[in-house]
Amino acid sequence: MQIFQGWLEGAERQLSPHFTKRELSDEIDLVVIHNISLPAGQFGGPYITDLFLGKLDPKADATFEEIYQLKVSAHCLIRRSGEVIQYVSFANKAWHAGVSCYKGKEKCNDFSIGIELEGTDELLYTKQQYQQLTNIVQLLKCKYPLIEDNVVGHCDIAPGRKTDPGESFNWTSFRKSLLEDKLKK
């Protein structure tokens, strides 16, 4: 996998209208890890993509009535199988962080890349998801060296408001795999 003109080669592309162009002064120095499942706790359906494309049918599930009009997106989604879908070019701002702050800098969408894992705070993520996440983060760190070790959860930039990727995310193992992958190169 490689990044070419802001896009992951080999990933499925679904172009979200929910993004903003980055300013030339917007230096990418952060990766934010999220989780999502629609309906909550259910996996594999089309609803995450529908939400990010602004096409979620409020009648498809009772819980969608509350969220179908949201204008949100992420740069990428990593499904339970490890399949990657990219919605927004890394060169642009996805609308994933909301009200947020990292190291004293507000509006994290301006300087971050948002990656969603198909999952919940409580359920373990899959080996395939961790492998893909490691691959993508390593590529991003090569493309945007300011990222360095600035890889955090949504909970870290919006504490008290967000909890994802949750206690089920194994930060120790993930950081170890990043280090091992870096040493291989």
Q: Which residues are catalytic?
A: 116
Nearest to 110 by CA among 32, 11, 5: 32
**Tally of CB atoms within 10 A around 69:** 10
Q: What is the DSSP letter of 61?
A: S
Q: Alpha carbon of 64 to those of 8, 82, 132, 133: distances in Å? A: 29, 25, 28, 28
Contacts of 28 (CB under 8 A, 6+ apart): 22, 90, 111, 112, 113, 140, 144, 146, 147
Length of the chain: 185
